[in-house]
Structures are given as structure tokens and as C-alpha cells.
């Protein structure tokens, strides 16, 4: 899959987007989803940090309404905001509920003939705050297989410094591609690494929530 905004080609279905806190991982994946969905792909955003309304507002700033959202925040903080056709809410503790709703959206895309689908899971680190790594691993094992079977592309954000090396190593087994983000003081850089592709480090900037690759 070509991602113009990053000027790279992705050859993996399940991609970990890893970097230190505040480097811009969420904005990074939102920009990828924005590009692909604006270009006609189906889009699913699984949010564990912001409510559906916050995510929807962000995309609507760029005139994008056609996004499916799985909100794992509202129910966790005891909100009784209702579900809609495009927004499903589930507690972050309910991994089965998350899995079922992802499949429901995928099934809808499939039956409507939409085969190009991009998914953001933002963020795996929040799930790891509530549940142990083995539980999260089992959940992601099922999810990554489903994404691969469908032929979709999914991006999972992970906070680099929040977890021990063993947890990161365990998670990496699930993903066949990684986008690494780094903060080098006065500049932010990224690169994509998979078994067959390793791009150069590229500098990026975020201006008014839009991603700009500088080199």
C-alpha cells in the first residue's frame, strides 16, 4: 500500500507505530487514515484515549465524515452516550466486545464491496494499563490474523517507554512491520522497517494537525 503523505510503500498488514510519548503517534496514524479514507478506502478508528466525539471532530476538521469509530473510553468512564451506526462504544475491559465490533464493521465493508480498509488502533499501551500483556497478546493475535485474512492495513500505536523490553518484544512478534518515531530534540524523524523494506530516517513536522514530511 502506498502512503503518499509519508512517501513510502507499506508491505505489511499489521504495523506497529512505536515512539516516545508526545512524539505525535496519534496524529501520525490519523493522517494516514485521513489520506486513505479520503481516497475511497474504508476506515475504522479504535480509540482508547479519546472519546468518539473527539476523534470525529478531528476528522471533520478535514471534511471527513466517513469513518467508523470504536470508542473504548466512554463506557470505561461511565458515560451512557448511545451507539450509532458508525460509532460503537465498549469498555476497554471488554476485549471480546472490541473484537466483535471490529468484525462487524469489516463485515459491513466486505458486503458493500469495499476491500481497501485501513484501521488505526490508538493505543495498545492504554489497553496494557488495564490488562496483563499475555491477555493483550492473545487479543491482538486474533485481531492481527483477522486483519491479514481480510487484506486490510492496521496501525497500532505503542508508547515506547511505558512497557518493559519483554512486553515490546512479545508485541513485535505480532506485527510484520514497524514505523519507528524518534524525537531528537529539535527534530522528529521516522522510518518504516519490515522484513523486506527499511526506509531511510525521514524528518517530519506537524502543523495544524497535518503531517509534513520534510526530507
Binding site for another protein (CB under 8 A): 75-76, 78, 80, 90-91, 93-97, 99-100, 103, 106-107, 110-111, 113, 130-132, 135, 138-139, 141-142, 146, 149-151
Sheet holding 202-207, edge to edge: 87-89, 68-71, 42-47, 117-122, 153-159, 14-19, 177-183, 188-193, 202-207, 210-213
C-alpha dihedral, 78 to 84 to 87 to 89, nearest 10°? 30
Rank residues 111 and 166 by Cβ distance to another protein and give the closer one.
111
Rank residues 60 and 149 by Cβ distance to another protein and give the closer one.
149
Shortest reach from residue 79's CB to another protein, in Å: 9
Contacts of 71 (CB under 8 A, 6+ apart): 47, 51, 52, 55, 87, 88, 89, 90
Rank residues 146 and 202 by Cβ distance to another protein and give the closer one.
146
The rounded Cα 179 to chain-centroid distance in angstroms is 11
Shortest reach from residue 176's CB to another protein, in Å: 18
Shortest reach from residue 45's CB to another protein, in Å: 18
Rank residues 7 and 107 by Cβ distance to another protein and give the closer one.
107
Rank residues 62 and 130 by Cβ distance to another protein and give the closer one.
130
Rank residues 173 and 205 by Cβ distance to another protein and give the closer one.
173
Long-range contacts of 139-145 (CB under 8 A, 24+ apart): 139/95, 139/98, 139/99, 140/171, 140/174, 141/174, 142/99, 143/99, 143/102, 144/13, 144/14, 144/174, 144/175
The pairing of strands 87-89 and 68-71 is parallel
Query: CA-to-CA distance for 199 and 207, rounded, in angstroms?
Result: 23
Amino acid at each position: 500500500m502506498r502512503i503518499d503523505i509519508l512517501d513510502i510503500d507499506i508491505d505489511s498488514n499489521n504495523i506497529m507505530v512505536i515512539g516516545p510519548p508526545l512524539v505525535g503517534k496519534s496524529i501520525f496514524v490519523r493522517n494516514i487514515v485521513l489520506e486513505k479514507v479520503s481516497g475511497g478506502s474504508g476506515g475504522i478508528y479504535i480509540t482508547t484515549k479519546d472519546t468518539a466525539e473527539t476523534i470525529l471532530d478531528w476528522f471533520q476538521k478535514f471534511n471527513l465524515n466517513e469513518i467508523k469509530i470504536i470508542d473504548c473510553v466512554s463506557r470505561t468512564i461511565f458515560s451512557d452516550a448511545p451507539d450509532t451506526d458508525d460509532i460503537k462504544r465498549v469498555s476497554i475491559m471488554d476485549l471480546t466486545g472490541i473484537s466483535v465490533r471490529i468484525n462487524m464493521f469489516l463485515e459491513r465493508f466486505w458486503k458493500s464491496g469495499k476491500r481497501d480498509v485501513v484501521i488505526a488502533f490508538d493505543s495498545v499501551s492504554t489497553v496494557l494499563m488495564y490488562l496483563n500483556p499475555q491477555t493483550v497478546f492473545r487479543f491482538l493475535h486474533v485481531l492481527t490474523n483477522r486483519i491479514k485474512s481480510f487484506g486490510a492495513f492496521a496501525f497500532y500505536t505503542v508508547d515506547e517507554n511505558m512497557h518493559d523490553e519483554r512486553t515490546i518484544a512479545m508485541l513485535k512478534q505480532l506485527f510484520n512491520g514497524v514505523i519507528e518515531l524518534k524525537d531528537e530534540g529539535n527534530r522528529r524523524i521516522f522510518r518504516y522497517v519490515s522484513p523486506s523494506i527499511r526506509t531511510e530516517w525521514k524528518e517530519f513536522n506537524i502543523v495544524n494537525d497535518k503531517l509534513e514530511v520534510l526530507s
